[in-house]
């Protein structure tokens, strides 16, 4: 057995195109090796094959003994990029298009409230927020999201007002809107 006094930390990231591995000396935090392979989307083993290939190649190419590895971190941008904002927006607008076409049948448009009444005169209106709630729920379901797309509103507002976006986000988290 050799002297394995060096301790190495390994990090592996599965990206859309490449799976990358990096080796860092645990004591000095110096990068001592790196490697990348094409992400193995179509392999029978899935992207796990690329993770193993990248890890083994980094060990071999950089002269790192498996016994020297004291820590392995794995991350992926794949889950983050599994949804597209445009897919969410399109689903949202599809709901509105169907809603407009079937105005009398869909509850979000058919439900009216009397806003005021004076004698025999009255004014009824649908509740606009019902339409938005329905569109967000439709977009969430169609895109199999585990979070509410209403969170995107906070991101969109951020460009105009950081304080308003932060306030909206905190309000959503407090009410549980972000995850429901």
Segment among 62-71, 88-97, 102-111 with least mean pLDDT: 102-111
Residues in contact with 73: Cβ distance below 8 Å, sequence separation at least 6, in sequence order: 9, 10, 11, 12
What residue numbers bound the domain in which 107 lies?
A: 83-149
Share the mean pLDDT of the chain.
Answer: 81
Residue 47 pLDDT greater than 90, yes or no: no
CATH number at residue 50: 3.30.420.40
Report how far apart the first and last C-alpha atoms of the chain are (Å, whole number). 55
Q: What is the pLDDT of residue 155?
A: 72
Confidence of residue 83 (pLDDT cuts 50, 70, 90): low
Instruction: Specify whether 30 is located in the same domain as 74.
Output: yes
Asked which of 57, 80, 103 is the last residue of a domain, the reply is 80
Mind listing the pLDDT tens digit for each residue in 151-176? Answer: 777 777 776 788 887 887 788 777 66
């Amino acid at each position: 057995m050799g002297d394995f006094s060096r301790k190495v930390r390994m990090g592996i990231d599965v990206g859309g195109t490449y799976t990358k591995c990096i080796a860092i000396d645990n004591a000095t935090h110096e990068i001592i090796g790196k490697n990348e392979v094409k992400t193995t989307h179509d392999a029978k083993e899935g992207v796990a094959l690329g993770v193993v290939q990248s890890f083994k190649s980094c060990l071999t190419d950089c002269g790192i003994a498996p016994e020297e590895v004291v820590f392995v971190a794995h991350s992926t941008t794949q889950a983050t990029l599994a949804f597209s904002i445009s897919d969410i927006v399109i689903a949202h607008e599809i709901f509105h298009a169907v809603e407009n076409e079937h105005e009398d049948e869909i509850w979000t448009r058919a439900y009216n409230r009397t806003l005021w009444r004076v004698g025999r005169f009255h004014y009824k209106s649908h509740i606009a927020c019902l339409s938005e709630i329905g569109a967000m729920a439709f977009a969430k379901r169609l895109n199999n999201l585990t979070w509410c797309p209403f969170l995107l509103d906070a991101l969109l507002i951020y460009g105009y007002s950081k304080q308003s976006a932060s306030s909206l986000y905190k309000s959503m988290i407090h009410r549980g809107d972000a995850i429901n």
